[in-house]
Amino acid sequence: MKYEKVLTKGIGEVDLTRIENYEAQGGYQALRKALKGMTPQEVHGEVKRANLRGRGGAGFPAGVKWGFLPDDGRPRYLCCNADESEPGTFNNRMLIEYNPHLLIEGILLAAYAVRASRSFIYLRGEFRKGFRVLTAAIEQARAKGYLGDKILGSDFSQEIVVHRGAGAYICGEETGLLSSLEGGRGEPRIKPPFPAVAGLYGMPTVVNNVETLCNVPFIIERGADWFLSIGTEKSPGTKIFSVSGMVRRPGNYELPLGIPLRELIEDVAGGLLPGRRLKAVQPGGASSPVLLPEHLDIPLDFDSVQQAGSILGTAGVMVFDDTVCMVRTALYYADFFSHESCGQCTPCREGTAWTARLLRKIERGEGTRDDIEVLKSLRSAMSGTTICLLSDFSITYLQSVLKHFAHEFEAHIEGRACLAGHAREVRSA
């Protein structure tokens, strides 16, 4: 089936980092439309009506979030969350590197709608190319009058500051992001107060994901009704699925929300490698519980995936075939989370490290049944007990594989060779 590309239109065909090319395919029309004929409230209203759900992982409606900002005269800030570090997720990076003006336009519209006094892009430190591209694109936009003082002759002025992170997954968490943007350790903050009330420098702040903001120009240009006509009733619009792992054509694919998992894997991504069998799929990044082959027909929208026992998250879809050892997958994540915990909360700091050590022991064939019981019991100690959700995230996938692939853990414990036939691997982490 052929679907219309929206956010990704032109990528790979024309060089959209050049502002002329972006304009040629209709770029900055939405900004023009808003500044010429819409009030900030109207822009906000349109986004709200479109039910644009956040693409950063939680699926919270952007329009509703913008409405939480108190109207008390304090300066407000808009932060674009471009820290994309969820394992298996790489669509923000593509948008930034190949369609930077779309993001800039989206930020400007959002900033207009929420009356932000300044906007920031919190860019992942690893995105050096993205930094170059965005910086250049901002200068192009400024030269054309899309950015700076009195944009396009309106009363609206805006600056966009690109802030480079420096290697810390937790800075993707919105309050960790704010701590980092203020020049500190990227340590999440206790909520409430939420960023909308007390965010950057204690001021009302909106944090939105790159892909979320990239949708805004289209909603403004084509209207909420158009947006609502794509995807499902509760999850409208397209989504860029980042597909990776054991498929023939890994990559970013923009598709309407609600597309069946089977279609994504078998048609769009070219299916599995020859001779392999599907073992499990993670539909939404590191923390999403496994889906099994029996789930192939579920539609990929926020609610359906949840009903199936997982989460759509960032739509970073990772496909594991029968060559993959599920104990090892859990170990990869455990190493990741124990490295990326900010270290504030006791359960997260200690629990992630303990999890990783136990899994390493099990993976090496030195584990015991007690170790498995301990791992299972950590769920209650590490879920809902910490400042942010990293601790919860670190344990959900593990619990799902402990449940669905108990036999693989058993095999490791009994000292039998790994069922997937992997050699024992000593990683230098």
Partner 1 sequence: MSDTVTLTINGRAVQAPKGMGLVEAAALAGIEIPVFCHHRKLKPVGVCRMCLVEVEGQRKPVPACTTQVADGMVVRTESDLIRHLRQGVLEFLLLNHPLDCPVCDKGGECPLQDNTFKYGPATSRLSVPKMKKRKAVDLGNFIVLDEERCILCRRCTRFDAEVACEGTLVVGQRAHEALITTADGETYDSYFSGNVIELCPVGALTSKAYRFKGRPWDLSRVPSVCTACPVGCNIELDFRFGELARVLSRENPEVDNGWLCDRGRFNYRYVHSADRVTQPLLRRGDTFVPVSWTEALMEIASRLRSVVRDHGPEAVGFIGGGRLTNEEAYTFQKLAREAVGTPHIDHRVAGQKVTSWAGYPGRLDDIDGADVVVLVDVLPAEQMPVADLRIRRAAQRGAALLALGPAAPGYRVPHTFIPVMPAGLARFLEEAASLVAEGEGQGRTGELSTTGAPAGPGPAGVDGQEALVRALRSARRVVAIWGGTDAAVGRALERLLNACRRTGDDRRLSVLIPGEQANSRGAEAMGVRPDRLPGHRPVEAGAAGLDTAGMLQAAAQGRLHALYLVGANLQETYPDGRLVREALSRVPFLVVQDLFLTETARQADVVLPAAPFAAKSGTYVNLEGRVQEVQEAQAAGENSRTDGDIFRALAEALGRRLDRSSHEIRWEVQHLLEELTVDGFVTGAALPGEAGAGAPAPAAGTARGDGNRADGRRLELVAVSRLYGGGGTARFDPAFSAVRPRAEAIFHPDDAAELGIAAGDPVELSSGPEAVTLPARISPQVVKGTVQVPRGAEGPAVNMLLTGGWHAPVTVRRRVLEEVG
Partner 2 sequence: MAAIGAAAADGRDRRPWWVRREADIERLIARYPKPKSALMGLLWMAQEERGYVADEDVAFIAERLGLSRGYVESTCSFYSLYHRQPVGRYVIVVCGNIVCGLCGGADLIRHLEERLGVRVGETTKDGLFTLLVTNECVAACDGAPALQINEEYFHKVNPQRADRILQALRDGADLAELSETIGLTAPGAVWEAGESA
Q: Which of 238, 288 has the CB closer to ligand SF4?
A: 288
Q: Is 75 in the site for partner 2 (CB under 8 A)?
A: yes
2-10, 110-118, 275-283, 342-350 -> range binding partner 1 (CB under 8 A)? 342-350
Smallest distance, Å, CB 336 to ligand SF4?
Answer: 12
Instruction: Please state the closest distance from residue 304 (CB atom) to ligand SF4, in A.
Output: 28
Whole-number minimum distance, CB 345 to ligand SF4, in Å? 3
Place of tokens 């930094």: 131
User: Would you list the DSSP string of 86-123?
Assistant: STT--HHHHHHHH-HHHHHHHHHHHHHHHT-SEEEEEE
- Please identify which residue in 128, 191, 407, 424 interacts with partner 2, judged by CB under 8 A: 128
Size of the site for ligand FMN (CB under 6 A): 24
Q: Is 199 in the site for ligand FMN (CB under 6 A)?
A: no
Return the closest-CA partner of residue 8 out of 66, 93, 70.
93
Token pair, residue 176, equals 């960790």
Smallest distance, Å, CB 191 to partner 2?
20
CA-to-CA distance for 51 and 238, rounded, in angstroms?
12
Q: How many helices (H) and strands (E) does the chain have?
A: 17, 10
Q: Which residue has the tokens 């629990």?
A: 351
Question: Rounded to an integer, what distance in angstroms lies between the CA atom of residue 93 and that of residue 363?
Answer: 33
Question: Residue 368, interface with partner 1 (CB under 8 A)?
Answer: yes
User: Three-class SS string for 296-354?
Assistant: CCCEECHHHHHHCCCCCCCCEEEEEECCCCHHHHHHHHHHHHHHHCCCCCHHHHHHHHH
Closest CB 176 distance from ligand SF4, rounded Å: 7
Assign 3-state DSSP to the chain and report helix, strand, coil percentages, each to 5: 45, 15, 40
Question: Which residue in 331, 293, 304 sits closest to 87, CA to CA?
Answer: 331
* b/e per residue 182-210 (b: at least 16 CB within 10 A): eeeebbbbeeeebbbbbbbeebbbbbbbb
Shortest approach of partner 2 to residue 37 CB, angstroms? 31
Task: Return the range that interacts with partner 1 (CB under 8 A); candidates 51-59, 231-239, 343-351, 398-406.
Answer: 343-351
Q: Which does 127 bind (CB under 5 to 8 A by kind): ligand FMN, ligand SF4, partner 2, none?
A: partner 2
Q: Does 167 bind partner 2 (CB under 8 A)?
A: yes
Stretch that binds partner 2, among 27-35, 135-143, 215-223, 236-244 (CB under 8 A): 236-244
The span of 38-46, 247-255, 347-355, 388-396 binding ligand FMN (CB under 6 A) equals 388-396
Q: Does 391 bind ligand SF4 (CB under 6 A)?
A: yes
Give 160's Cβ-side CA count (13 Å radius). Answer: 32
Q: Does 256 bind ligand FMN (CB under 6 A)?
A: no
By Cβ distance, which residue is nearest to ligand SF4? 348
- Contact residues for ligand SF4, defined by CB under 6 A: 170, 188, 341-345, 348-349, 386-388, 390-391
